[in-house]
Amino acid sequence: MIKASVLGATGYAGQEIVRILSMHPQVEIAGLGSQSYAGQSYSYVYPHFRNILDKTCKSPQDPEVIADADVVFLALPHGLSSSLAEEILQQGKKVIDLGADFRLNSQKTYQAWYKAEPPSQELLQKAVYGISELNRDRIKVSSLIANPGCYPTSIILGLAPLLREKIIDTQFIIIDSKSGVSGAGRKVALGSHYSEVNEDIKVYGLPRHRHTPEIEQELSLLGEEDIKVSFTPHLIPMTRGMLSTIYTKPKAAIKINDVIKLYQDFYHHEPFIRVLPEGEYPHTKYVLSTNCCDIGLSWDERTGRLIIITVIDNLVKGAAGQAVQNMNMMFGLEEDIGLNKIAVYP
């Protein structure tokens, strides 16, 4: 059995990790770290765990939370993971960080976008960007995973086949993304109050959303050139789910059936990627509470634009589910073990 601890276990992403791990046949939950609820039963914080997981939360600084684990998930705000990760790695444990601390390769870029002290260059070089379907070989042998952000996951998976095959003009990539409110986290904030978000939709984070350099970094690696994108995120009045609509321009004439086949071939062996047939487009409900990413494609002959639509559950494939998928690879397990693939519907 793999012994796993979760620091930041009482946030939304942390809770989702705990929920998935509690049903994982090869995992025992060793410790739960929470700054806000140390000393409280986990089922007191989240009553749906009553008689399922009544373990007491401890301070994230409690050495037992780390000492008892083989792998530690860090579901913490940016800036808090780097020192903890170093300590955990020194103890011979594996680390999967769901925050932003290790996602950017450049200290300078991290400092510019997050206005915080970056991790050491040594740790950044050790970290592997955990986009499961694209970095599988490196993830398997890594001890430090930078779990991708939710927006980047939906966008990178949507563009990877086109960039690998160099089919599109990389100077024309426009991304319109929409996320449910759970992406803002569990903390109390005016912008996520019910009366503020209900019957409303809004743009936020313009023109410099913090996920932009992460998106551009990984797309540039895929395309083997410097890529900049126009990225506009929106907050929509639902709890969870994410949809990204990506507008691109092919370099030459295409047939939509050929593009769909390219995607089907590219993701043929991937258990969580589903490419839809021509004329079908994904809904967020299709992936609710799953680790799936559904992809639909449309060719607009009138404008010469190829449109990619992707959907994920922002808390699962966009956070906790992808983290567990990475853990499975790190420990030599089947990637899909413990990850339910059937959506909750309606």
Identified catalytic residue from 57, 150, 292, 293: 150
Rounded CA gap, 235 and 202, in Å?
5
Name the maximum alpha-carbon separation found in the chain.
62
Which residue, 159, 178, 180, 181, is CA-closest to 170?
159
What tokens were used for 38?
């140390």
State phi, psi for 127 to the nearest 5 degrees: -70, 140
- Give the three-state DSSP class for 317: helix
What are the CB-based long-range contacts (under 8 Å, 24+) for 20-26?
20/316, 20/320, 20/321, 20/324, 20/338, 20/339, 21/324, 21/338, 22/49, 22/52, 22/53, 23/338, 23/340, 24/324, 24/337, 24/338, 25/337, 25/338, 26/1, 26/2, 26/331, 26/333, 26/337, 26/338
Which residue, 304, 75, 286, is CA-closest to 187?
75
* CB distance 344 to 289 below 8 Å: yes
Rounded CA gap, 246 and 278, in Å?
17
Distance of CA 147 to the CA centre of its chain: 6
Q: At what angle do helices 107-114 and 212-223 cross, to 10 degrees?
A: 150
State phi, psi for 256 to the nearest 5 degrees: -60, -35
* CB distance 145 to 139 below 8 Å: yes
Is 150 catalytic? The answer is: yes
Q: Which residues are catalytic?
A: 150
